[in-house]
Amino acid sequence: MHIAVYLGSSPGNDPKYEKLTQQIACWLCEKGHTLVYGAGSRGLMGLLARTVHENHGRIIGVMPEFLLEIEHLYEHLDEVYMVKTMSSRKQKMIDLSQAFIALPGGPGTLEEITEIISLVRLEQIPGPCVLFNLNGYYDNLRKQLLTMISEGFLAKDHLKHVYFIETMDELESIFS
């Protein structure tokens, strides 16, 4: 399965983010999944790609041309797609993937995963959409979605393929 992973191009300020990133990379390889990601070599993105490469996994990267000087293309990609815009990057990653995982990250990660939540809700993509809620990282997003449900702007069943998880065992159960 091709799985898009969204995460920070920065490392974050706690080693727990790097540990989780490495666990996800190893899991992808153990299960024979192909990583689809933003093609960068820095921060958690770079760590993810390096760990997948070191474990002989397959990597597809999608990079907007204008980001080449900022994010630097990871050098061991099995496939690379160069695109013009961030919007075209998001769409290409969606087109290439059957499942979606968000690890902690910044505004770009948040934008990408909220679009995935919307598309899964509208049944435009299959899902699942998994947010790895390490130490409550995505608690506020989950709370906002619950507020949307309680205020009548979102039906609870629209989130049936959206998962907030905290452990690798939970991840495994979604994909088993």
The predicted-structure confidence for 76-115, as pLDDT tens digits, reads as follows 999 999 999 999 999 999 999 999 999 999 999 999 999 9
Model pLDDT, residue 71: 82
DSSP the chain: -EEEEE--SS--SSHHHHHHHHHHHHHHHHHTPEEEE--B-SHHHHHHHHHHHHTT-EEEEEEEGGGHHHH-B-TT-SEEEEESSHHHHHHHHHHH-SEEEE-S--HHHHHHHHHHHHHHHTTSS---EEEE-GGGTTHHHHHHHHHHHHTTSS-GGGGTTEEEE-SHHHHHHHH-
| CATH number of residue 120's parent domain | 3.40.50.450
Model pLDDT, residue 126: 83
Percent of the chain residues past pLDDT 70, beyond the cut: 100
Does residue 69 or residue 45 have the better pLDDT?
A: 45
Stretch 130-148: mean pLDDT: 97
Q: What is the mean pLDDT of the chain?
A: 96
Domain count, the chain: 1
Residue 70 has pLDDT above 90, yes or no: no
What amino acid is encoded at 60 in this protein?
A: I
Model pLDDT, residue 30: 98
Model pLDDT, residue 20: 98
Pairing state between β 2-6 and 99-102: parallel
What amino acid is encoded at 141 in this protein?
A: L
Banded model confidence at residue 168, pLDDT cuts 50, 70, 90: very high
Contact 9, 38 (CB under 8 A): yes
Model pLDDT, residue 1: 96
Model pLDDT, residue 62: 98
Residues 6+ apart with CB under 8 A from 81: 60, 61, 62, 63, 92, 96
* pLDDT tens, position by position, 11-34: 999 999 999 999 999 999 999 999
Residue 175 has pLDDT above 90, yes or no: yes
Range of the domain at 71: 2-175
